[in-house]
Structure 1
């Protein structure tokens, strides 16, 4: 048969067929064994609201492997670190203030 010769692959997938990259960090924030987070918790308008939501999630969790404070702070740090340079400066500052507020709410000052 003519024209049935297999085509050579160049190693690059066309943009229309490329699968979305696997986002393990998204899966961690959605399906973490430590905490069941409220959707959009890291985008809340104030640091105290972020800290309060993380504290509430950590205290209610029955699956966390460590104390509530460490679990909440760990999830906050995880989000900040994974966002990296893509995190806007104002949001990064709000999340850094949320760390301080979380410490205050747990009485760890």
Structure 2
């Protein structure tokens, strides 16, 4: 395992950003992913940013960490979760 791979695994498991539900990014339901991230961000006392930003950052981190290895179908679910997350926080959709 390279140092970069170890670093990203360490961040995912021990991040001070917030505590995540186990295996949440494996869900096929974008709404469930968004709701879980929202709950985690709102209940975290360790995050450094506002709940919306923390939740979106964690989702983007996961997507970016997977990079080209993320299958198209998983990417579609996770990108849909971004829209669900925006809706959950009452944020306008980006076009």
TM-score with structure 2 length normalisation? 0.91
- Partner-residue secondary structure (3-state), 1:50: helix
Residues 1:83 and 2:66 aligned together: yes
* Higher RCO (CA < 8 A, seq sep 6+): 2
Q: Which runs of 5+ in 2 are unaligned?
A: none
Which aligned segments of 4 or more residues in structure 1 are displaced greater than 2 angstroms? none
Q: Which runs of 5+ in 1 are unaligned?
A: 1-19
Determine the structure 2 residue equivalent to 1:35.
18
Partner of 1:48: 31
Asked if 1:58 is matched to 2:41, the reply is yes
RMSD: 0.9
- How many residue pairs match? The answer is 90
**Alignment partners' CA distance in 1, 2:28 and 2:11:** 23
Q: TM-score when scaled to structure 1?
A: 0.79
- Residue 67 of structure 1 deviates from its aligned partner by 0.2
Distance in 2, matches of 1:63 and 1:57, equals: 11
